[in-house]
Amino acid sequence: MTLPDVALLNREQAILEFNKRVLAQAERSDVPLLERLRYICIVSSNLDEFFEVRFADMLDAARDPVNAVSSRDVERVARAAHDLIDEQYAIFNEQVMPALREERIVILNHADRNETQRHWVAKFFEREVRPLLVPVGLDPAHPFPQVANKSLHFIARLSGKDAFGRDNRIAIVKVPRVLPRVIKLPATVSEGQQAFVLLTSVIRAHLEELFPGRHVEAFSQFRVTRDSDLEVDEEEVANLRHALRSGLTTRHFGRAVRLEVVNTCPAELSNFLLEQFDMPAAALYHVNGPVNLVRLNELIDQCDAPELRFLPHEPVWPQGRLPRQKSIFHRLRKGDVLLHHPFESFEPVVQFLREAVEDPDVLAIKQTVYRTGSKSELMDLLIEAARRGKEVMVVVELKARFDEEANINWAERLEAVGAQVVYGIVGMKTHAKLLLVTRREVGKLGKPVLRRYAHLSTGNYNPKTARLYTDLGHLTADPELTADADLVFRELAALSKFKAPKRLLLAPFNMHSRMLEHLAQVARAARAGQPARVVVKINALTDAELIAGLIAAGQAGARIDLIVRGACMLPPGLPGQTDNILVRSVVGRFLEHTRICYFRWGVSEADEVLYLSSADWMSRNMFRRIEVAWPVLDPALRQRVIDEALMPYLHDRLDAWQLGPDGHSQRVAETGVSAQQALMRRYIAG
């Protein structure tokens, strides 16, 4: 495939552009007020990961003389990050906080607190905070302390000399993570409001008490973000699990990439911190408020104001297609079942595994685990299955970023009860979502036969995120599809030579090439004047060859709609080049996570295919991960995917953004239909 001559958009700036769309939710008057604050927190969390991973990688690439990333690219992305963070704090201070005050929800600074409130805060400081603080005055015997990734600290400049007559004027105070960052004042002192104080305000008000006999001349809270990507040479380590567990202890002290201080921090102190962390001036971020807005989730959780939150949404059980009282195995022998989360409950997936564990005729259970959480009923069920003597194989991805520790713990617990645990293939992450059950049954001639049942999904085996992310799950007893799933598990365990499955596409082997083949088929049909259509819904589009295939199909005359939640490097709407391609992004109540690929290259039913997939259209997913995609062959199920998971998003006007050729997005409209809201109403109505 010839790469496109169209200049692609910058990936890091595309990620920041996505976060601008998320931040825009905090400005919407039709979004409940506490949810607007939550979007601000989400952006902070996203930016933390951006600096820990993407920006850190970009800095490494800029140091490599053979890499295409230049220092100018880094500066441009850093400026965009600075602008986004400034906008985030402006929305927080000028829109959201004043609106909360109107609802009598307030954050009280020291100057805002009356004498009664100050007395309460002082007692709280003495009782809960001061015993855990250890101020460190810097001198040759007390060097600058180790500062962990994203941990909160204060820096202070002190007057006079210390108790030994020395002129050590700089001190550092570490704030333990165990302390709450948001404290709700009791009703007895809150004057009829819901009043909160931030831990930083509590410490700030009593900072001088930590340095008896000295005056705090200047101070600031600060926070450092570090490169947090775990790097382990899998070819060199004998035990990947042990190597990763060891790496977890050093992750918190990687290279510093961002320093946050409050905007009142004197230059003397910020420059001192930059020098200690060996960071350039561009890495300094002055913020007008708390240095970690993520922790304001604690305020949202403590607020007693249900009217300021989204109305509760309870996913429905698909009773008509999957009767709750009957065996799921029995139902799947009659046909496949599609689950659309979070509009439909994830509980049928849990029940599928629970039934397999409790059924004496089930002989074996195999499952992939990428992100499942530190607490998981699914993992508990797999442990119970092994205890009951069933053959249990679990492919645990130890390198699932920021979930490594939870996955290592699950792997050890599974091995302790005799489950077969494998860690996929060296150098690749296992990102496929598969659950396979093998059951002994009575065949047509009365003889015992083995029948397989499977669940394939676009999302993770995590019941918590299944309530927040849109995903599609596919329950099936189809012999070819389940045999393919079994083949994938065998290849992951035995590391045997790749044998192409009949129905599944498997990255890194044939998924990328098959997608390119379909794009070429669409292009040929367009040139021949036949119907030619592509609709792809994914989380990111960054692979240059797939982008080239899309551009070629569009230039041949095919109509192409891309629904890309996050980073998209394809610039749509360029006259004569990409003007047949529309790119939209939907940002609503739920995180869009479904991966769907639809291709049409003619007039017959054979000229159409729709895949569900675990993979985004990124080079890492296509070549450095184990991913699956599978065609939905049942006409009714395929039409349901189109009607529920594609068409509503192409017609969304309330939550949709359209990407321009310059990489910037514009909201499609301020009023109109929301795909997510329409789907919630549809499922609630039955």
Q: What is the DSSP string of 139-182?
A: BTTBPPPP--TT-EEEEEEE-S--TTS----EEEEE--TTS-SE
Place of tokens 């002190």: 158
Residue with tokens 């460190």: 136
Q: Confirm or deny that 593 is annotated as ligand binding.
A: yes
Q: Which residue shows structure tokens 């230049």?
A: 70
Whether 431 sits among the annotated catalytic residues: the reply is yes
Q: Whose CA is closest to 519, among 4, 10, 14?
A: 4
Q: Is 683 annotated as a binding residue?
A: no
Q: What does the alpha-carbon distance between residue 568 and residue 538 come to, in Å, rounded to a whole number?
A: 10
Residue 675 exposed, middle or buried by CB count within 10 Å (0-12, 13-18, 19+):
buried
Active-site position among 341, 431, 474, 518: 431
Confirm or deny that 401 is annotated as ligand binding. yes
d(CA 41, CA 153): 20
Where residue 573 falls (left for φ over 0; alpha for ψ -120 to 50; beta otherwise) is: left
Q: Are 482 and 452 in contact (CB under 8 A)?
A: yes
Other C-beta atoms within 10 Å of 449: how many? 11
Distance CA 320, CA 323 (A): 6
Instruction: Indicate the SS3 state at residue 224.
Output: strand
- Mention every residue, 6+ apart, whose C-beta is less than 8 A from residue 114: 191
Q: For helices 71-91 and 33-49, what crossing angle results, to 10°?
A: 160
Phi-psi region of 104 (alpha: psi -120 to 50; beta: other; left: phi over 0): left
Residues that are catalytic? 431
Binding site listing? 46, 371, 401, 469, 565, 593
